[in-house]
């Protein structure tokens, strides 16, 4: 059995998300969704292999963007190509502006759901990138994309890290061709990016 199939990930029933107000794309309405989802009595850890195929549940995924604004005022985002060794095979070879991943049962000892979520987000960041700069962080919205097979089973929570210097580097070998790119150069190339990146870049910077 694969590691992905054995891993247990944090999920919420899709019906509970819909009851709060279904949306397609991006929502900045954090107050409506996050407290209710994090306090839900129906949160559970379920086998990732099953959850990847079950749209009855949404896997909660932190999705972190790194933005660097240079002295000349040009906004740049950290972006990369997903290699074949990254967990979600359906996104391989796609470009992305987001770093993050599943909240796992191994994070569950951290305390409240909010603490568990933060623990899981930090674990994913530590696994995927090296951050060698001062930064400020803000949670800015959610992504829901029911128009793709991957999106149907995931709900993204978007975090924007504003970095003082562009010193964010891949730790994983499967984060390819990584670096900061001007947003004005990313926008015309969005068709080459995964759907979540398309949604969030258009919503925040388009």
Cβ neighbours around 116 below 10 Å, total: 22
Residue 90 in this model has a pLDDT that exceeds 70: no
CATH number assigned to the domain comprising residue 41:
3.90.79.10
Contact 16, 128 (CB under 8 A): no
Q: pLDDT value at position 4?
A: 52
CA geometry: angle 106, 30, 13, nearest 5 deg: 50
Q: Which structure tokens are listed for 72?
A: 């000349």
pLDDT tens by residue, 49-88 = 999 999 999 999 999 999 999 989 999 999 999 886 545 4
Q: How many domains does the chain have?
A: 1
What sections of the chain are H helices per DSSP? 3-6, 14-21, 30-38, 48-51, 113-128, 183-186, 195-205
Crossing angle (nearest 10°) for helices 30-38 and 113-128: 100
Tell me the helix, strand and coil percentages in the chain, rounded to 5. Answer: 35, 35, 30
From the list 55, 50, 143, the residue with the least C-alpha distance to 100 is 143
* Whole-number percent of the chain with pLDDT over 90: 87
Residue 5 in this model has a pLDDT that exceeds 60: no
**Residue 143 domain boundaries:** 3-205
Q: pLDDT value at position 110?
A: 85
Q: Which structure tokens are listed for 60?
A: 């909660």
Query: What is the distance between the alpha carbons of residues 48 and 54, in angstroms, rounded to a whole number?
Result: 10
Band of pLDDT at residue 111, cut at 50, 70 and 90: confident
> 116: helix, coil or strand?
helix
């Amino acid at each position: 059995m694969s590691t992905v199939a054995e891993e247990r990930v944090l999920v919420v029933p899709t019906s509970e998300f819909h009851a709060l107000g279904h949306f397609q794309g991006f929502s900045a309405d954090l107050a409506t969704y996050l407290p209710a989802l994090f306090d839900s009595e129906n949160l559970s850890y379920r086998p990732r292999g099953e959850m990847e195929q079950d749209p009855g549940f949404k896997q909660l995924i932190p999705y972190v963007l790194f933005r660097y604004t240079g002295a000349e005022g040009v906004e740049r985002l950290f972006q990369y190509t997903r290699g074949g060794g990254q967990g979600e095979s359906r996104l391989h070879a796609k470009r992305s502006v987001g770093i993050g991943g599943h909240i796992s049962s191994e994070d569950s000892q951290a305390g409240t759901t909010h603490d568990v979520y933060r623990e899981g987000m930090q674990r994913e960041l530590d696994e995927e990138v090296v951050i060698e700069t001062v930064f400020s962080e803000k949670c800015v919205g959610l992504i829901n994309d029911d128009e793709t097979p991957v999106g149907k089973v995931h709900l993204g929570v978007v975090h924007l890290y504003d970095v003082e210097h562009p010193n964010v580097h891949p730790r994983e070998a499967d984060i390819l061709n990584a670096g900061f790119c001007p947003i004005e150069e990313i926008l015309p190339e969005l068709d080459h990016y995964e759907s979540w990146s398309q949604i969030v870049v258009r919503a925040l910077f388009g």
